[in-house]
Amino acid sequence: MLFPSLPPQPMDYFEKMYTRRGYHRIAGVDEAGRGPLAGPVVAAAVVLPRDGIGEKLFDSKKISSKKREHLYETILTEAQGVGIGMIGQEEIDRINILQATLKAMALAIGNLPTPPDFILIDGPHGLRLFIPQKPIRKGDQLCNSIAAASIVAKVTRDRMMLDCHQKYPQYNFAKHKGYGTKEHRRAIEKFGVCELHRKTFRGVKEYL
């Protein structure tokens, strides 16, 4: 017997569910930059208005840079709060990328103009904060506020890597943003490692 497929879950499902449970400032949090060989990991926390921002939000990795930039500006204008947290490559090497990511997320929450009363987190890990929270696997594809955070984090980090390109043009950070593309790996092999590289990462540590 065939059963009809269920309609897709709306992107505001989690915000509405926790609003009904009495929470009023729900922050979504996500990161950009776990995978690259160079540069920081950047997290963003976003508290959206109850009725959204009038734009359809997506996982930042699945939209064009032009669309991300447009949504980034809209989110910053319309959101009730935006916070950014960043952990640099030296601390990533010292505490590992997972712990650095969670620390960046906690910093982003702490940098919101008003503390949230509930947190929706992209991924399976909770944060060591005394705030009620819900980790959501693939949350940037399922939840508006997490998708908004993913866009803010991605645009913020991309802009930082554009600045890094000015200092180290030989690596072409403007193009790959520090990810381990063939071009980037060839540049590391040719020019060696710079201060922005994560020295514990495979693809970098071999050239120290």
Q: How far apart are CA 187 and CA 208, in angstroms?
A: 14
Per the CB < 8 A criterion, the answer to whether 118 and 27 are in contact is: yes
Q: How far apart are CA 18 and CA 16, in angstroms?
A: 6
Encoded tokens for 103: 């620390």
pLDDT band at 1 (very low <50, low <70, confident <90, very high): very low
Mean pLDDT of 139-157: 96
Q: How far apart are CA 119 and CA 136, in angstroms?
A: 10
Of 34-43, 53-62, 89-98, which gets the smallest average pLDDT?
Answer: 53-62
Asked if residue 36 has pLDDT above 70, the reply is yes
Q: What does the CA dihedral 194, 198, 201, 204 come to, rounded to 10 degrees?
A: 0
All domains of the chain, ordered by start, with CATH? Answer: 13-164 (3.30.420.10)
Asked if residue 3 has pLDDT above 90, the reply is no
Asked if residue 62 has pLDDT above 50, the reply is yes
Question: What is the pLDDT at residue 6?
Answer: 47
Mean pLDDT of 123-129: 97
Report which DSSP code applies to 7: P
Question: What is the pLDDT at residue 12?
Answer: 93
Question: What is the pLDDT at residue 27?
Answer: 98
Q: How deeply is 73 buried, as exposed, middle or buried, from its count of CB atoms within 10 A (0-12, 13-18, 19+)?
A: exposed
Asked if residue 190 has pLDDT above 80, the reply is yes
pLDDT band at 52 (very low <50, low <70, confident <90, very high): confident
Question: What is the pLDDT at residue 165?
Answer: 97
Q: How far apart are CA 21 and CA 125, in angstroms?
A: 22
SS3 70: helix
Question: What is the pLDDT at residue 150?
Answer: 97
Asked if residue 183 has pLDDT above 90, the reply is yes
Which one, of 40, 79, 35, 36, lies nearest residue 57 by Cα? 79
- CB-CB neighbours of 66 under 10 Å: 8
In this predicted model, what pLDDT tens digit does every residue of 74-122 receive, in sequence order? 999 999 999 999 999 999 999 999 999 999 999 999 999 999 999 999 9
On the CB side of 171, how many CA atoms lie within 13 Å of its CA? 31
Mean pLDDT of 130-148: 96
Question: What is the pLDDT at residue 46?
Answer: 98
Asked if residue 45 has pLDDT above 80, the reply is yes
pTM across the whole model = 0.94
Question: What is the pLDDT at residue 63?
Answer: 86
